[in-house]
Amino acid sequence: MGGMLRLFPLIVMLYAATSLAAPGLSPAPDLAAMAAQLDRQPRAVRARFVEAAVAAMTTAFGAEARRAGERSSWARGARAYSRRLGAIAAAARGGAGVRVVVDAERSVRVIVGGGRQFIIAGPDPASQGALERAVLQRFCPRGACGAASTSSHPRIALTARAPNGPRLVAHLDAGDDGLRCGSDARRHPRLVAAACTALFADLRALARALHARARAGATLDWRAERLFGPGSGAPVSLRALSARQDALAAWLRARLYGQAYALALEPPSALVYALATRE
């Protein structure tokens, strides 16, 4: 009897560890292998995976924001992205549908509610392996889903300096890219709509140009001042949106990585009335 009492704490610990594992999940060597099993799991398990991914990613982005300086434009963008991730996790927790997709290069994409999505990737491509292990450790506490290790599978290179970074999409699809005209257009609605169309055309053209550079192996600098500042070559219409350039940069980055990002733009008066003088 005394021996059983001494073994009781160990039995409890083993039960707790195994009860946290989702039924039917096999030990997985890496994040992609674990994610590939999730379609066979209940929605609640997939929602828990979303929460684990978001928690690990927001921790990584928060650490990088502190290194960049809390008042920097990069830090503000990182905090905004973390808030969006938190909203996606809340939707999954609240019952929205969850799909987890592993692509041919073993990047893991999470789709919640049919429209909101993100790729599991951190701010520093060199730390991608550590981020993926952090997701697994949160999803499978105490190794309940099997050991996690660095994947030996190759990944497509986003740039020459980021061999393990989030995957650059092969093509910019022609579907809804999240751009909206943010003006109520009570005055001159036709001119405002035309100005929004011109803004969107310039932004999409810049996305195509950046995509071509990245496909050719260039390392892209996502800081707004580099994308839209003097000597950047960005269209004048986008340089005029000085107060929204961090959001523009975030939209461009999301577009090239295949992530959903809604962006409402209000065209500056100068552009609206410049179009008026052409009529």
- Six-digit token pair at 113? 């509610």
pLDDT at site 95: 92
Where are the chain's structural domains? 25-143, 179-278
pLDDT at site 188: 66
- Of 4-13, 125-134, 257-266, minimum mean pLDDT range: 4-13
pTM of the prediction?
0.49
- Cα 151 off chain centre by: 21
Cβ-contact 144, 20 below 8 angstroms? yes
Question: What mean pLDDT is reported for the chain?
Answer: 74
- The tally of CA atoms less than 13 A away on the side-chain side of residue 263 is 26
Grade residue 211 by pLDDT with cuts at 50, 70 and 90.
confident
pLDDT (tens digit, 9 = 90+) per residue, 102-140? Answer: 876 677 888 898 778 888 877 776 677 888 899 999 998
Does the pLDDT of residue 26 top 80, yes or no?
no
- Average pLDDT, stretch 272-278? 57
Cβ-contact 49, 88 below 8 angstroms? no
- For residue 179, give the 3-state DSSP assignment: strand
